[in-house]
């Protein structure tokens, strides 16, 4: 079991939300969702009193103010409410071309950034404020990930062990834009219909007249003709096939939960010049698509040349992740 180690700092989130607000994909739907979230939060308005080194928190309800600096749960809920209220005001001004509205929107973004910085100085957990409850529990919970040899791994800035410099860059730049993610999280995919189809194909072609596989003590060996031998090679997803459940294990490079609760999968193919790697990587992505485990709106595929500069990588994160991550 593992836990996500990505940190959300005020500086990273403020940079991220500013990118995301450049062109929100559906500000009306996002505004409606934010209103619903606000309606479920406690009554009252949070007032942080920033003394530089320390921040005190007060709540005002029906004109009465009281000190709540020791009530962490209430502080986080009201901090989320304050954050969402400002974000809602910003989104409502998104399409306005009036000069006053444009200026007000800019001021609100600056106000939001200062608020997040104040929350950080007040030692609040920013994840509880800027993430939905579903996102927060998913990102901070434990998950099953692929084993990695520490001697051959590369460590990211936040301490995650990854397999390549490109993956290290993806994690580091994601953290720099406050994008929480799970690295190599296990996904179980039901593939028995594909296995049955393979058996039918082999029989029709006259290439098969015995059991398709042998499954002993948790290990599987496929009895296939030489032209299909790659499914028995190291790294093949088919080596994880579990006949009792009809499932295989796929370890996605990166998984990100979006604001609507759906999972965005980012697969980075780094060694495509190597035939076996290319075969296994292509098959893995194809199986996810064929089984409906992922659709085109929730899959990002990148290759080495597409992220070989910081600008290219940031552009991908800014376009395909940030607007769907925060609202």
Confidence band of 124 (pLDDT split at 50, 70, 90): very high
Would you state the pLDDT for residue 275?
65
> For the chain, what is the mean pLDDT?
93
Q: Is 181 a residue whose pLDDT tops 90?
A: yes
Confidence band of 235 (pLDDT split at 50, 70, 90): confident
Would you state the pLDDT for residue 250?
97
Which segment of 49-53, 242-246, 315-319 scores lowest on mean pLDDT? 49-53
Share of the chain above pLDDT 70, in %: 97
Tokens matching residue 293: 């485990």
Confidence band of 69 (pLDDT split at 50, 70, 90): confident
What distance in Å separates the CA atoms of residue 240 and residue 256, rounded to the nearest whole number?
24
Q: Is 187 a residue whose pLDDT tops 90?
A: yes
Would you state the pLDDT for residue 174?
97
Cβ atoms of 325 and 19 within 8 Å: the answer is no
pLDDT digits (tens, 9 = 90+) for 35-65: 999 999 999 999 999 887 789 999 999 889 9
Helix, strand or coil for residue 18?
helix
Cβ atoms of 280 and 235 within 8 Å: the answer is yes
Q: Is 272 a residue whose pLDDT tops 80?
A: no
Would you state the pLDDT for residue 150?
85
Q: Is 159 exposed, middle or buried (0-12, 13-18, 19+ CB in 10 A)?
A: exposed
Q: Compute the Cα dihedral for 200, 204, 210, 216 and give only its sign.
A: negative
CA distance readout (Å), 246 to 196, 235, 319: 10, 19, 37
Q: Is 305 a residue whose pLDDT tops 90?
A: no
* Region of residue 62 (left: phi > 0; alpha: psi -120 to 50; beta: else): left
Would you state the pLDDT for residue 277?
67
């Amino acid at each position: 079991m593992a836990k996500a180690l990505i940190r959300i700092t005020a500086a990273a989130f403020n940079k991220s939300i500013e990118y995301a607000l450049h062109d929100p994909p559906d500000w009306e739907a996002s505004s409606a969702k934010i209103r619903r979230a606000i309606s479920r939060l406690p009554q009252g308005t949070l007032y942080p009193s920033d003394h530089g080194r320390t921040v005190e928190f007060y709540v005002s309800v029906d004109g009465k103010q009281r000190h709540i600096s020791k009530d962490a749960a209430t502080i986080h809920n009201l901090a989320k409410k304050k954050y969402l209220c400002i974000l809602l005001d910003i989104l409502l001004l998104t399409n306005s071309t009036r000069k006053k509205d444009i200026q007000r929107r800019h001021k609100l973004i600056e106000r939001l950034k200062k608020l997040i910085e104040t929350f950080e100085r007040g030692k609040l957990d920013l994840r509880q404020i800027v993430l939905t409850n579903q996102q927060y529990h998913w990102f901070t919970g434990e998950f099953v990930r692929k084993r990695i040899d520490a001697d051959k791994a590369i460590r990211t800035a936040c301490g995650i062990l990854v397999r390549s410099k490109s993956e290290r860059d993806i994690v580091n730049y994601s953290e720099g834009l406050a994008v929480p993610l799970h690295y190599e999280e296990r996904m179980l995919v039901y593939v028995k219909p594909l296995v049955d189809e393979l058996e039918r194909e082999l029989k029709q072609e006259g290439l098969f007249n015995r059991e398709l596989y042998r499954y002993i003590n948790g290990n599987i060996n496929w009895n296939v003709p030489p032209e299909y031998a790659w499914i028995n090679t190291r790294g093949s997803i088919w080596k994880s096939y579990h006949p009792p459940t009809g499932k295989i294990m796929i370890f996605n490079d990166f998984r990100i939960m979006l604001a609507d609760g759906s999972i965005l999968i980012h697969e980075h193919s780094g060694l495509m010049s190597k035939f076996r790697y290319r075969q296994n990587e292509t098959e893995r992505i194809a199986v996810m698509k064929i089984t409906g485990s992922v659709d085109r709106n929730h899959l990002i595929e990148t290759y080495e040349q597409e992220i070989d500069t910081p600008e290219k990588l940031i552009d991908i994160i800014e376009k395909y992740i940030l607007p769907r991550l925060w609202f």
